[in-house]
Amino acid sequence: MTLLFVSASDNAEVWRAELARRLPDLPFRVWPDMGDPADIRYALVWKPPAGLLAGLPNLKAILSLGAGVEPLLNDPTLPDAPLVRMVAEGLTEDMAAYVVLQVLRWQRTLDAYVRQQAEAVWKPLGHRPASEVRVGILGLGVLGEAAARALLPLGFDVLGWSRTRKDIPGIATVHGADGLKELAARSDFLVCLLPLTAETRGILGASLFAALPRGAVVINAARGGHLVEADLLAALGSGHLSGASLDVFAEEPLRAGHPFWTHPKIHVTPHNAGVTHPSRCADHVADAIRRAEAGQPLLHVVDRTRGY
Ligand code: NDP
Ligand code: OXD
């Protein structure tokens, strides 16, 4: 039951060690040193070269190192084996913390205090209490729900949006096109935690921004393809939006000279809102392999027609 590890951005040796502690008999190969392709039953991957997985004749499951799988689905040769996305506590906690961090940063005007400190200025700037701050979360899956659950105890007024109707105890929800209108009209913060699909591409654009209250802040931790960059710059320029926190970009790494780098109202992080820490995510991978080997149904399998 050999596993092939393919990722340019995750540490193969740390993954090898974490998986060896959980599955000591699992042979672990690191692409491009994969040996006989016929040996490979599991591929643990992040952005593998297109066509690579199609060359593995005995593949039993594709295990994504990321929660978002659109880079895999974009490969027309992707084999039919079940595609399992990353769902793990470590990643979920990271993302919830990122969302809380960004909301608090803007709500408590942290940047202004950093500037004031540089000039030894003692001047309270005031802020709206959390209970008067409305946060709209696009996407109420694993990460959107966790972000909502992290904001609620701080007092924020949270509303979440999904494709299908949701009944999540303690969380106010809306769905569908009407739900999006309702959410936008009352979102002082708009947080995007959607998968990138044909329906969601470009959702963070001029018409949604126009529907937000004046002064709203946009937080995108999902995918760069959700955002229409020129529309964001226009909405910030007109003052309709007051800020944006962006973790993901159409082109990554964000190129030198991109206007986002120096924009005074944009906060950039390098796609690390939710990190797949091996120590916190290897249980999920080991569990998937154990289930597959035992002939049990796999969890968190991507619905390829839905796109997530
Ligand atoms: P899930 O699949 O668990 O949740 C997706 C949510 O989005 C669901 O609530 C789903 O609705 C909703 N959704 C999908 N399509 C639509 C639509 N057309 N209209 C309204 N709602 C829609 O995904 P996760 O929460 O695990 O992850 C979300 C995304 O976060 C990933 O796809 C990835 O792109 C991004 N991500 C970013 C990271 C980072 O570091 N920046 C790290 C990890 C993930 P429904 O419930 O009805 O199906
Ligand atoms: C993911 C990501 O999808 O890192 O997990 O973006």
* Active-site residue (options: 41, 85, 223, 300): 223
Q: Which of 163, 196, 247 to mutate to test the pocket of ligand 1 (most atoms within 8 A of CB)?
A: 163
> What's the whole-number mean pLDDT along residues 222-238?
98
Question: How far apart are the CA of 243 and the centre of ligand 1, in A?
Answer: 23
User: Which uninterrupted H or E stretch holds 58?
Assistant: none
Evaluate if residue 305 carries a pLDDT over 90. Answer: yes
Closest residue by CA, ligand 1 atom 17: 163
Per cent of the chain over pLDDT 90 is 100
223 catalytic? Reply is yes
> What's the whole-number mean pLDDT along residues 165-180?
96
Question: How far apart are the CA of 123 and the centre of ligand 2, in A?
Answer: 39
Helix axes 142-151, 89-107, angle to 10 degrees: 50
* Active-site residue (options: 41, 271, 284, 300): 271
Closest residue by CA, ligand 2 atom 4: 66
Question: Does residue 66 have its Cβ closer than 6 Å to ligand 2?
Answer: yes
Contact 286, 22 (CB under 8 A): yes
The per-residue pLDDT of the chain, averaged, comes to: 98
Q: Output the six-digit token pair for 123.
A: 């001047």
Evaluate if residue 1 carries a pLDDT over 90. Answer: no
Question: Does residue 195 have its Cβ closer than 6 Å to ligand 2?
Answer: no
> What's the whole-number mean pLDDT along residues 115-143?
98
Please say whether the dihedral angle defined by the alpha carbons of residues 76, 77, 80 and 83, taken in this order, is positive or negative.
negative
Closest residue by CA, ligand 1 atom 26: 142
Per cent of the chain over pLDDT 70 is 100
The pLDDT tens digits of the residues spanning 255-290 come to: 999 999 999 999 999 999 999 999 999 999 999 999
Instruction: Give the phi and the psi of residue 174 in degrees, each rounded to 5.
Output: -135, 165
Question: How far apart are the CA of 142 and the centre of ligand 1, in A?
Answer: 7
